């Protein structure tokens, strides 16, 4: 009877160890820097756009990545673009692996190619349920998402292009 009790306790400890070491980590260990998917409404249907990282620092096991990319204000022609339509009021941000934290900054397209604007002329964008509100004016906006994971950090840029009225 004593051996059954010891065996049961041992099995319970092993199961507890497995659950704690694998099941409680909400951050997926991944070799690749996560992507960002934008979800938004365009012409009365839901559209998605996947964005790869720009500048990033990433560590995985014994390997690492340090990537530098132009700021979205300096590379608007190569920055993924979302066309503004009348029904575009918000964009949902979906990461392929959830970050521990992230922030969103934006600039009006008046600041394109103005590297002094990086640190002085942006607005912090409020994020609610991984969704950002898109201003309802006729101005274009450049967005920079800065995300952090235990393995590193990455930047993602996109441009909401002003509609042609």
- With bands split at pLDDT 50, 70 and 90, how would you rate the model's confidence at 10? low
Strand, coil or helix: 32: coil
pLDDT tens profile 55-89 = 999 998 888 989 999 999 999 999 999 998 888 89
Asked if residues 115 and 74 have their Cβ atoms less than 8 Å apart, the reply is yes
- The predicted pLDDT at position 17 comes to 45
Please choose, from the candidates 38, 65, 54, the residue with its C-alpha nearest in 3D space to the C-alpha of residue 157. 54
How big is the CA angle at 111 (ends 108 and 116), to the nearest 5 degrees? 130
Token digits of residue 18: 């497995």
Could you tell me the residue ranges of all domains in the chain? Answer: 33-161
Distance of CA 7 to the CA centre of its chain: 46
């Amino acid at each position: 009877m004593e051996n059954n009790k010891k065996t049961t306790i041992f099995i319970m400890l092993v199961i507890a160890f497995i659950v704690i070491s694998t099941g409680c980590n909400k951050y997926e260990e991944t070799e690749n820097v996560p992507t960002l998917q934008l979800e938004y409404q365009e012409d009365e249907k839901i559209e998605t756009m996947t964005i790869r990282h720009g500048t990033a620092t990433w560590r995985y096991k014994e390997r690492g990545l340090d990537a530098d990319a132009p700021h979205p204000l300096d590379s608007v022609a190569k920055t993924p673009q979302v066309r503004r339509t009348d029904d575009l009021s918000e964009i949902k941000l979906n990461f392929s692996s959830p970050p521990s934290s992230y922030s969103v900054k934006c600039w009006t397209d008046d600041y394109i190619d103005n590297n002094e604007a990086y640190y002085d002329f942006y607005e912090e964008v409020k994020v609610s349920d991984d969704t950002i509100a898109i201003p309802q004016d006729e101005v274009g906006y450049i967005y920079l998402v800065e995300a952090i994971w235990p393995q590193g950090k990455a930047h993602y840029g996109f441009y909401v292009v002003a509609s042609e009225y």
